[in-house]
Amino acid sequence: MSVLYLDVVSFTTYSESNPPNEVVKMLNDLFGISEVVIREHFGDIDKFIGDAIMAVFHDASDAVRAGMKLLNTALPEMNRIRSEQNKAEIAVRIGINSGLLLQGDVGTEVRKDLTVIGDTVNVAARVEKAAFPGCLMISEACLARLSPELAACFEYHHSELLKGKTEEIKLYICEGSVDYDE
């Protein structure tokens, strides 16, 4: 499976300078458009983690297309509306990793959540943290699962020893605007 992490850039600063009801509205707007795009691309939101989303996809291409549409269409439209309302624009980072993971119920006897766990999930979170604002970054494991046409949208960016890993991970960045629905 492929795991997509989306995180709001400078959320702490945003939440310090806006009333709580405005912060909640912004998050709900962002999460709402993200859910639509993720479902359109056959993904499922596993959980909301504060100002972040963790979503899972069976196909790496679907995850990448969802990430591209979020950055190239959905978020710019949301920011256009926010700008018209004299509200600050929102930036996000997106990271995707692919590989084996375990899906199951995690929790206690009283409360359990169906979720995914494993190294693939942890690396996806680290890839998102390595991404730049407004950027979609993927791992080499994700790149290897893409069609040649979609893989051609990415360029090697750098290798990084991600937190908790013993070997560097190669990271790739999406360059320019692409047709994400092909």
Task: Report the DSSP beta bridge partners of residue 102.
Answer: 117
Domains and CATH numbers, the chain: 2-174 (3.30.70.1230)
pTM over 0.75: yes
Q: Distance (Å, rounded) from C-alpha 167 to C-alpha 158?
A: 13
CA 178 to chain centre: 17
User: pLDDT digits over 26-45, tens only?
Assistant: 999 999 999 999 999 999 99
In sequence order, which residues have a C-beta less than 8 Å from that of residue 39 and are 6 or more positions away?
Answer: none
Which sign does the torsion angle of CA 33, 34, 39, 44 carry?
negative
Task: Report the DSSP beta bridge partners of residue 171.
Answer: 139, 158
User: pLDDT digits over 103-158, tens only?
Assistant: 999 999 999 998 999 999 999 999 999 999 999 999 999 999 999 999 999 999 99
pLDDT of residue 181: 45
Look over the chain and give the mean of its residue pLDDT values, rounded to a whole number. 93
